[in-house]
Structure 1
Amino acid sequence: MIVAFHKPYGVLSQFNKNPDYPDQRVLGDCGLPEHLHPVGRLDLDSEGLLLLTDDKELETKLLDPKHGHRRCYLVQVDGQPDDLVIRELEAGGLQIKGGVTKPCKVKLLGEAPSLPERDPAVDVHAAARSSWLKMELTEGKNRQVRRMTAKVGFPTLRLMRISIGDLQLHELKPGESKLLSPEETALLFQ
């Protein structure tokens, strides 16, 4: 069983509550079955496509770096990166916490994508000077996208994962989930 979930901002990618932060939202608060476990994670301050499964073999196939599964993100950054910065991100070799990055695909978008409102919204002053990137990675180091953009001088303001493999998030609204069909599951491995 694989469930696709549109993780909202401010939800931890786990089921267990932290006793120090009892009001912190977790996956169980979103009505997801607790016998499933997240495949990878999205940080508290990240949004988008999160998979949950009860299939350990599938989880290994999707997370093991040797398989190089694509993950695509829309990234709002503080500032206006130029072509040199884009090439630096794409080339790989950035020294970040967790290791050295592999090459990836990065595209500077001409306009902001149409996304659901985030609560809380990105600071209005930062948003006014921001730009959007589309980044496709085949690895998933801890807070990797945020560390990459910060390393090149453009901190991430908003981060949304929009696809894993060829499986797209587009029809799910924040907080919604759905059981994947066999055809949708196959998209993960294309």
Structure 2
Amino acid sequence: MLFRALFVASVAALSLGASAHASTFALENFSGATLPLTITSVGVTASFTSATGEFQVQDTTGLLPFNTALLDNNFFANDPLNIAFSAPVSGTIVIPFAILDLFSTTDSFTLTANTGQTLTVAAVLDSLNFAEPGGVAQFALNAPITSLTLSGSNPNASFAIGDISTLPAAVTPEPTSIVLLATGLVGMASRRLRRS
């Protein structure tokens, strides 16, 4: 009975570590909304604010690589966008973006976490869309974060983002869980051998 209890506890510990969920902070249901804006996904709320920007959720079908965007209507300024999370976020944050640059200069998009970690992604011209350079920022976090600041490199161009997704980090079982699982399996096997 003790070995069976150890086996059940170890399986529970392994599955608990793997229970992180992917989430998407989708913009589709917020058409026309301006900042401040809050979106909840899988129990976590993302609050979007900007000290200077005029961001609004808009339908960008045919103009940008994503159909709904949180777009800075102040087209001639790089206004940073701040996102605060109600609970720590870990793993990888994925954000599609576009730079609204009328002159198609070399642009980049930067994400800065409250931990100090940064990611800068070069914008690439997409000939299938309205000649707005953009891309997808995949920010692999090295520690859980509670806030994120987004900005572009061009002080004379604004940016837009699509739905924000979070992907859980790959789960590696702890050695203690593996030992518990092995002990439970050995105990159950030896008990079965004694019975036969």
Structure-2-length-normalised TM-score: 0.37
User: Rg bigger for which structure?
Assistant: 2
More strand, by proportion: 2
Structure-1-length-normalised TM-score: 0.38
